[in-house]
Amino acid sequence: MPSGPALDCTSSSGGERAQPRILIVEDEFVVACDLCDTLEDLGYAVVDVVASGEEAIARARSARPSAILMDIRLAGEMDGIQAAARIRSEQDVPIVFLSAHSSEDTLRRATATDPFGYLVKPFKAPELRCAIQVALNKHEHTTRLATANRELEAFSHSVAHDLCVPLRSIQGFSEILIRDHEDALGAEGVDHLTTMHHAAHRMRRLIDDLMRLSRTNRAELHRAPVDLAVLARASLARLAAAEPARRVAVEVADAIVVLGDEALLAIALDNLLGNAWKFTSKRAQATIQVGTARRGGAEVCFVRDDGVGFDLARAGKLFSAFQRFHSSAEFDGTGLGLAIVHRVIQRHGGRIWAETAVDAGAAFYFALSP
């Protein structure tokens, strides 16, 4: 509790509609008293007032408040931003920062905890009420959206599974017919079945890629040091094993360490390198490079190949879903690979762009936020 006389400003909800229950985290006694009075005058119930980040975490667990008003400078070893991050990792509760400090570094750290508001002291009662109501309303809407997304995800997985089952049957039985009854079918019949088999395979790939794109949009981001060179070598080894007859010179930097989510970055590299492998397939001797370069005064990563390239003038929708620069007759694909890569880089707060020309290869450059 804040230093000074015992502070008891808790209240119980009355009437038919429950009052929003607010936890105050503030280590200045006078400020805490004023906040209690103001909140009660505004019709909120204050469940407790604590003075340290450690107390805030414990009280949030037990009280399950509707919202938390969090000062940034607190007594104890943990500040309000650290406490907010811990609380948000344990429970879904809106937090509004109340602070006299608004430096760039403070704002950056506070924003990283996904707060629902930030008020700079001193503020007036109407401003406080607006901040709390906006936070509560935003939290209600995001909760509903999260529920809807979970239901949509379950539906999508169900549909994808139900579609894949008959597709596997079409693939399997068409393959059996081609293998075991080729003579009876004749050349034309075999051609028809082969076309059907390939169409079913393409549809399964399309469903898999759509689900992969969906997962990159929803997956929780876990940042840690990741060596992209290790991921690239593993991806290229898989591609080489699948087509051992290909002659591809591979050049990968010794180490390319970035801060990011390893699983998502592996998906991005798989798609970039898969494209490089595919679009160099008409080269008798191809080259694929993975490394870093200076662009605009910053260090960026790249994946470069000497394949067919494409007309960059047509690249306005390069990273949009289902955009293709070569026909499916030339190169197989679903048109979703670069959309998946773009989403992964976006999730990391970064950017990606291409440098290419027809029959002159392609280079994809990307940078992640620090």
pLDDT at 369: 82
pLDDT at 158: 73
DSSP 58-89: HHHHHH--SEEEEESS-BSSS-HHHHHHHHHH
- Look at phi and psi of residue 361 and say left if phi exceeds 0, alpha if psi is from -120 to 50, else beta: left
CA dist., res. 112 & res. 60, Å (int): 20
> What is the distance, to the nearest Å, from the Cα of residue 162 to the centroid of all Cα atoms in its chain?
27
- Collapsing DSSP to helix, strand or coil, 366 comes out as strand
Q: Which two tokens stand for residue 333?
A: 């694909």
Contacts of 78 (CB under 8 A, 6+ apart): 52, 53, 54, 86
Number of neighbours of residue 366 by Cβ within 10 angstroms: 24
Buried b (16+ CB within 10 A) or exposed e, 66-89: bbbbbbbebbeebbbbbbbbbbbe
Sequential pLDDT tens for the chain (370 residues): 454 444 545 444 444 457 899 999 999 989 999 999 999 999 999 999 999 999 999 999 999 999 999 999 898 889 999 999 999 889 999 999 988 877 788 888 888 888 898 888 888 999 999 999 999 999 999 888 878 767 766 767 777 777 778 888 888 888 898 888 888 888 888 888 888 887 787 777 777 767 766 667 666 788 899 999 999 999 999 999 989 999 999 999 999 999 998 988 998 999 899 989 998 988 999 999 999 998 877 899 999 999 888 767 665 677 765 565 554 555 565 567 788 899 889 888 899 998 887 777 889 999 998 6
pLDDT at 236: 95
CB 196 within 8 A of CB 170: yes
CB 93 within 8 A of CB 83: no
Assessment of whether the complete model's pTM goes beyond 0.85: no
CATH topology of 21-123 equal to that of 222-370? no
pLDDT at 151: 74
CB 362 within 8 A of CB 312: no
Residue with token string 């030339």: 330
List the chain domain ranges: 21-123, 222-370
Q: Which CATH class is domain 21-123?
A: alpha beta
Q: Which two tokens stand for residue 40?
A: 């009660």
pLDDT at 16: 46
What's the fold here for domain 222-370? Heat Shock Protein 90 (3.30.565)
